[in-house]
Amino acid sequence: MKGNHKLTWFGLGILFTLIIAGLLVSCSRGPKVIERGDVAEAAIATYVAPGDTDEYYLFYSGGHSGNVYVAGVPSMRHIATIPVFAPYPATGYGFDKDTKAMLGSYTWGDVHHPALSETQGDYDGRWLFVNDNANNRLARIDLRDFKVKQILGPIPNISGYHGGSFVTPNTEYVLAASRFSVPLPKGTFEPIENYATKYNGIVAGVPINPQTGEMSVGWQIMMPPFDFDLGDAGKGVSDGWAFWTCYNAERATGKLEVTSTQKDRDYVVAVNWKAAEQAVKDGKVTQISGVNVIDPKAAPGVVYLIPAAKSPHGVDVSPDGKYIVASGKLQSITTVFDMEKVLAAIQNKAFSGEEDGIPVLNYDQVKEAEVNVGLGPLHTQFDDQGYAYTSLFVESAVAKWKMGSWEVADKIPISYNIGHLSTAEGDTMHPSGKYLVALNKLSHGRHMNVGPSQPESSQLIGISGEKMKLLYDAFTEPEPHYAQMIRADKLKPIEVYPKEELKDPNAVWDVKDTAVTREGNNVLVKMIAVRSSFEPNKIEVNQGDRVTIYLTNIEQTTDELHGFGLGEYNLNVVVDPGEMKVIEFVADKPGVFPYYCTNFCSALHQEMQGYLLVKPQ
């Protein structure tokens, strides 16, 4: 018996030791610890003291929220929301006559890529353009007052406006392209089996009026049924050219995840937009749904295709315009094309094939380098030291590489899965360097637990030194795709609409000019809002009347906003100092309905109210 006990204990001892050893070994093979950089240095680099302001504006696209978000760099604080495609009661957007008309029947949009207007290849601080991937629209935000002034569209013939917005160096055009190919004109039926031959994609230029910023529908180019993805405009050496990446050169349908990733190369589309303009002038167009559409076969010299690494997603032009950088998201290289070589290949007709009559340039003749950046390269941005930064989705990292030597100098892990990235003034001819913001898709574990529906992650990375330094984790509303970073002193928005500017005859500035007048079934109200009252504070109408309120905020002091909320009539409008808004509704419900100031304005904000009295029929 004694021997058995000893054996048992011995056996247990060995088992125990093996278990402990196993645990220790597996622990040491855990994930690599992500370097945080010096904490104190990062804290100082991102701290903006009370009373001070940030160095850069960061305009985020808001994705399917339909908004644009404004943050400051380096604090990464969210400062304001600019509503674009969705109603936003906080600022009354979508509730007054003008913004209701702009939104039309849609209550959402999918904002992917914001583009700041440029003059001579640098940001000029006039406008911000944003695309609507869902409903094929393009919006223009006036940076004088950070408000949307125009929504163009839905733009005919484009399905899934993903390939925008990107501006040419003097904002001649905002680029547009379709992510989805459909039979054209829209409304045409074609079985999906005919996709390869009867479906078409579109790349286009939306012309911008240089004085007013007014957008209009311009020329479009009929393309093979590829998925046109992202774009960038040429500048400097490549001025006059527009580029887009596209995937699904296979012209596949079905489970695209598989069917559209079979070939090794897709394309970068290069459009000579001056030649496109000429083609329109020469009448080499067909009218499709009222738009001038160019058929590349009928107008040679307008479009060319450059083979690019598998399923490219992201084409970016270097600051001097010499290099076109395209990243194949399903490979590990980023390809650099030399614009001078592209022009030479076109000149010498160095073509390796064609797609529906569009010449395909010989890859080896136009390629300058293939940079081994890492897994899943997407987008590239630039700094002021000749470096390029490419986001790596699959690897969840950013690679820093040198233009000219084409070597990777540094890599930094990202938490997690970076999409786009934005460097300070990074898509202009004179980037600032200094800061890089990584716009990431997954934020789990980096913030307090807020349940299953998680915010988005942006990380601020310092790029002044040789090695990149992670400075800050910020979290945003869903869902930024791309962003634009511009030096704060380049924008000088107003905070008060000057009295002299309000020319509308329905705007009144004095209590004695306010009135309620009747014209048949129409009741017109001229109302003022000031600290702390509405005048008139009583509106009497008959049930069924069409009521129009011209509401003027007569303040001339910054930040003195007033709101107008009419409960039970689903109305909330906010007026800025010196602004007038028009509120229209039908008084179809009888009774007495209070209206009140919704935007906190003064010590007697609670007392700022009135009554709408609707006499029953």
Partner 1 sequence: MTSFLERETTFFEQPLTLKSRILILIAVLVLIPSFMFPLWNMSFYSNQYTDGLVLRIYSYQLEGGKTPNRDDLREINSLNHYIGMRPLLESDFSEFTWVPLVIGLLMILALRAMVLGKMSNLVDVFVLFTYFGLFSLWSFYHRLYMYGHNLDPTASIKVQPFTPPVFGSKQIANFTVNSFPGPASYALFAFAALLLVSILLSARFSKGKGDERAA
- Chain residues binding partner 1 by CB under 8 A are 494-496, 498, 530-531, 555-558, 603-604, 607
Q: How many helices and strands, by DSSP H and E, does the chain display?
A: 8, 42
Give the DSSP letter of residue 170. Answer: T
CB-CB contact of 413 with 397 (8 Å): yes
Q: Cβ of residue 559: shortest distance to partner 1, in angstroms?
A: 9
Which residue, 103 or 529, is less far from partner 1 as judged by CB? 529
Q: Cβ of residue 529: shortest distance to partner 1, in angstroms?
A: 13
CB-CB contact of 582 with 596 (8 Å): no
Tokens 């459009």 found at: 271
* Per-residue tokens: 116: 């700041």
Closest CA to 203 of 225, 172, 234, 187: 225
Helix or strand run (H / E) with residue 332: none
Which residue, 266 or 555, is less far from partner 1 as judged by CB? 555
Q: Cβ of residue 486: shortest distance to partner 1, in angstroms?
A: 21
Kindly compute the dihedral angle of the four CA atoms of residues 206, 210, 211, 212, in this order, to the nearest 10 degrees.
20
**DSSP per position, 334-357:** EEEEEHHHHHHHHHTT-EEEEETT
Q: Cβ of residue 198: shortest distance to partner 1, in angstroms?
A: 58
Q: Cβ of residue 206: shortest distance to partner 1, in angstroms?
A: 33
Write the single-letter amino acid at 233. Answer: A
Q: Which residues pair with 459 in a beta bridge?
A: 438, 473
Tell me the C-alpha distance between 594 and 356, whole Å. 64
Which residue, 366 or 597, is less far from partner 1 as judged by CB? 597
Which residue, 258 or 603, is less far from partner 1 as judged by CB? 603
Q: Cβ of residue 554: shortest distance to partner 1, in angstroms?
A: 9
Provide Rg for the chain, Cα atoms: 29
* Per-residue tokens: 231: 């774009």
Which residue, 316 or 555, is less far from partner 1 as judged by CB? 555
Q: Please state whether beta strands 562-566 and 591-596 pair in parallel, antiparallel, or not at all (unpaired).
A: antiparallel
Q: Cβ of residue 597: shortest distance to partner 1, in angstroms?
A: 15
Q: Cβ of residue 555: shortest distance to partner 1, in angstroms?
A: 8
Which residue, 144 or 263, is less far from partner 1 as judged by CB? 144
Which residue, 497 or 564, is less far from partner 1 as judged by CB? 497
Tell me the C-alpha distance between 38 and 248, whole Å. 44
Closest CA to 92 of 530, 564, 470: 564
**DSSP per position, 260-309:** TT-SSEEEEEEEEHHHHHHHHHTT--EEETTEEEE-TTTSTTSEEEEEEE
Which residue, 49 or 192, is less far from partner 1 as judged by CB? 49
Tell me the C-alpha distance between 471 and 455, whole Å. 19
Q: Cβ of residue 556: shortest distance to partner 1, in angstroms?
A: 4
Which residue, 407 or 495, is less far from partner 1 as judged by CB? 495
Which residue, 265 or 531, is less far from partner 1 as judged by CB? 531
* Per-residue tokens: 391: 């986001």
CB-CB contact of 85 with 100 (8 Å): no
Which residue, 40 or 603, is less far from partner 1 as judged by CB? 603
Q: Cβ of residue 596: shortest distance to partner 1, in angstroms?
A: 17
Q: Cβ of residue 552: shortest distance to partner 1, in angstroms?
A: 14
Tell me the C-alpha distance between 135 and 306, whole Å. 29
Sheet order of strands, 286-288 included: 159-161, 173-180, 201-207, 220-223, 291-294, 286-288
Tokens 């009521």 found at: 547
